[in-house]
Amino acid sequence: AELIADLRRAVDERQLHLEYQPIVDLATGAVRSAEALVRWRHPRLGLLAPAAFLPLAEETGLIVPIDRWVIHEACRAAATWRARVPEATVAVNIAAAHLRRPDLIATVTAATASAGLAPRALTLELTESALIDGSEAVLERLAQLRELGIRIAIDDFGTGYSSLSYLHRIPATELKIDRSFVARLDTDARAYATVEMVTRLAGAFDLAVVAEGVETEGQHAAVTAIGCVHGQGYRYGRPGGLSALHALAAPR
Ligand code: G
Ligand code: G
Ligand code: MN
Ligand code: NA
């Protein structure tokens, strides 16, 4: 209960910050994209990862102001990054509760406009579980976001159920293959076949594929051979500050 009160103050008192994990172009090694991940520097408990507070935020509805702050902050960061790397894009995670709110459109529009960011430089990551109640209203909202130019990624692909129906219904621009499949690439032929199949399927739907959780050289070689367009994971870089991202992504 005390943590709820703390969390309520966290946004106002600027205790949240974002880290950025690079997403590499596997063909060239270039970093032109990053995923923003929220952190909470709690005054007594220290640095908290999302798993330590996002479930509580979701239960209490505090996730909405948090995600709103994340969207604004990530848009500002993306705008500075694009001053150096014009084609750079930044991805933010959107909670299920937020996707159900009509004002998501207004939030995204305000954030891109006030940062002076082209909407095509912002990707919203939606998990399959967030998409599960694919109500008409949610689908309509996603279509509106696409019309604005916002990119839509299906996150943790393969972990929800009826994954395949989403490909037909969701106006996505990319698909992130869940790291549980990537983790087993080295040792499990079935995991390899799964990543291969999902990549081919994504190609048929014109979706860019991001292989998540690439840690080892073997996994890197496998996702590259399979033809995934992008990779994300400790092999390429851990989540870090904006300056680390700028250094990694220096134009060549
Ligand atoms: O950084 P870490 O691996 O601890 O993140 C764990 C999970 O928390 C991520 O998979 C992501 O889905 C979720 N997450 C991280 N940042 C945000 C955020 O700003 N908003 C929401 N809704 N989820 C986030
Ligand atoms: O998909 P989601 O938004 O949940 O993924 C982001 C999370 O994955 C972040 O919490 C990040 O810290 C974590 N992550 C990123 N790269 C790796 C990796 O190579 N290995 C593992 N185990 N986790 C990773
Ligand atoms: Mn994500
Ligand atoms: Na993911």
- The percent of residues in the chain predicted with pLDDT above 70, rounded, is 97
The token duo for 125 is 């990551």
pLDDT at residue 251 tops 60: no
**Quick one: pLDDT at residue 128?**
83
How many domains, the chain?
A: 1
**Quick one: pLDDT at residue 162?**
63
Q: What is the ipTM of this complex?
A: 0.96
Q: Is 10 exposed, middle or buried (0-12, 13-18, 19+ CB in 10 A)?
A: buried
State which ligand 1 atom lies nearest to the alpha carbon of 94.
22
Residue 219 CA: distances (Å) to CA of 22, 223, 229:
17, 6, 14
The ligand with the least distance to the CA atom of 39 is 1
Length of the chain: 252
Report the C-alpha gap between 230 and 111 in whole angstroms: 26
Give per-residue pLDDT as tens, 94-141.
999 999 999 999 999 999 999 999 999 999 999 988 887 668 899 999
**Quick one: pLDDT at residue 160?**
79
Domain that holds residue 244: 2-248
Residue with the smallest CA separation from ligand 2 atom 18 is: 213
CA of residue 83 relative to chain centroid, distance: 21
pLDDT at residue 60 tops 90: yes
Give per-residue pLDDT as tens, 163-201.
688 788 899 999 999 999 999 999 999 999 999 999 999
pLDDT at residue 85 tops 70: yes
- The percent of residues in the chain predicted with pLDDT above 90, rounded, is 87
State which ligand 1 atom lies nearest to the alpha carbon of 125.
12
The CATH number covering residue 116 comes to 3.20.20.450
